[in-house]
Amino acid sequence: MVSQVYSDYSSFAANVTSFGDVYQQFNAVPTLNFVEKLWGSYYYYMNNDLFATGLLFFLVHEVFYFGRCLPWYVIDKIPYFQKYKIQPDKMPSDKEQWECLKSVLTSHFLVEAFPIWFFHPFCQKIGITFDVPFPKITTMLWQWALFFVLEDAWHYWFHRGLHHGPFYKYIHKQHHRYAAPFGLAAEYAHPVEVMLLGLGTVGIPVVFCMFTKNLHLFTVCIWIILRLFQAVDAHSGYEFPWSLHHFLPFWAGADHHDEHHHYFIGSYASSFRWWDAVLKTEAGPGPKAKREQVMKAKAERKQKKHQ
Ligand SMILES: [Zn+2]
Ligand SMILES: [Zn+2]
C-alpha cells in the first residue's frame, strides 16, 4: 500500500526506503513547494496514513504546546520582564509549575492520546483531504479567520456556562486553581472541560467540512497550532506595550484572560473581546465602573426627560 498523499507516483524510483530517498523523489516534482514536499514525504515514508496522521497530530500538540510554554517559563526568571507582569506579586513557583506540568502531561496521554488515533478514518469519512499540493493560501487564510471567530463564540458560551453552580464546582474549578495564570496552566483543566472546549477547536472545522467539503488536513494542523499559541499566550500573565491587542483592539490576549482568573467572573471569550463587550461581561473593576457610569448617565437622562 502506498500513501494516498499524492496522486501520481509513476515517475518515482522503485525501492525508495529511507526518508532522504523519499524526499529526493518529491523534490523532483516541480509543482510542489518545500512544505508540500515534506508533508508528502512524511506520509509516503510512514506508509500508513492512519498512523501518520495520529502521530503527526500528537507530536504537533506536544511540541507546540510545551514549545510555546518554555519562553514564558524563561521570561518568569528574568527580572527585566517583571514590570510587564499583570499580577507582579504572584510569581508561580517551580513547584507549582512542576505539579501543573505533570497534570497536563497525564491529561495529554490519558485523555487526548486515545481519540487522536481515530482522527484519520474520521477525516476521510467526512472529506477532509490530506494530499499534495495544498489548497491556495488565500483559502487557508479565510478558513483560519472563520475558525477563530466561531471557536471564540463556542468558547464564550460554554465557558460562561461552566461558571454556573455544579458545572463550576465539579468541572471548571480545577482550571481556576491559579488566580494568576502562567503559560502551562492553559490546558490545566478537568477532562470534561478539555473535551468540551476542545470540541470548539476540533469540532468546528469538522462541521465546516461536513457542509462545504472544502478542507485540508494541513489547514487544520496549522489552525490547531495557532489556537495553542493563543491559549498559552492568554495564560502567560504578561502584558507588553507590543502585545497584539494594542494593534488589533478586538484581540483578547493575556490582558483579557488574566482578569478572568483574577476576578473569577467575566471575560469569558478566548480570542476576541466583542462577546464580553456587547453582553457586558468584561471582568474587573475598570469595566464595572464604566458600566455603572453608563447606567448612571442613562438614569439621569431618563430623570431629566420626566422632569
Ligand atoms: Zn473560567
Ligand atoms: Zn484560563
Question: Which pLDDT belongs to residue 155?
Answer: 98
Return the amino acid letter for 155: H
Nearest ligand to the CA atom of 160: 1
Question: Which pLDDT belongs to residue 305?
Answer: 80
Q: How far is the CA of 264 from the centre of ligand 2 (A)?
A: 10
Q: How far is the CA of 175 from the centre of ligand 2 (A)?
A: 6
Is residue 209 scored above 90 in pLDDT? yes
Q: How far is the CA of 30 from the centre of ligand 1 (A)?
A: 50
Question: Which pLDDT belongs to residue 298?
Answer: 84
What value does the mean pLDDT take over residues 137-159?
98
- pLDDT tens-digit map of 84-119: 999 999 889 999 999 999 999 998 988 877 888 889
- Mean residue pLDDT across the chain: 94
Q: How far is the CA of 173 from the centre of ligand 1 (A)?
A: 8
Question: Which pLDDT belongs to residue 1?
Answer: 62
What value does the mean pLDDT take over residues 201-209?
96
Work out the pLDDT band at 135, boundaries 50, 70, 90.
very high
Work out the pLDDT band at 292, boundaries 50, 70, 90.
confident
Q: How far is the CA of 260 from the centre of ligand 1 (A)?
A: 7
What value does the mean pLDDT take over residues 165-170?
96
Return the amino acid letter for 109: F
Is residue 183 scored above 80 in pLDDT? yes
What value does the mean pLDDT take over residues 12-32?
93
Q: What percent of the chain has pLDDT over 90?
A: 83
Q: Which carries the bigger pLDDT value, residue 129 or residue 14? A: 129
Nearest ligand to the CA atom of 267: 1
Work out the pLDDT band at 17, boundaries 50, 70, 90.
confident
CA distances from 243 to 186, 234, 295 (A): 18, 11, 31
What value does the mean pLDDT take over residues 117-125?
91
Is residue 12 scored above 80 in pLDDT? yes
Q: What is the dihedral of CA 187, 188, 190, 195, to 10 degrees?
A: 10
Work out the pLDDT band at 304, boundaries 50, 70, 90.
confident
- Domain coordinates in residue numbering, the chain: 1-47, 49-305
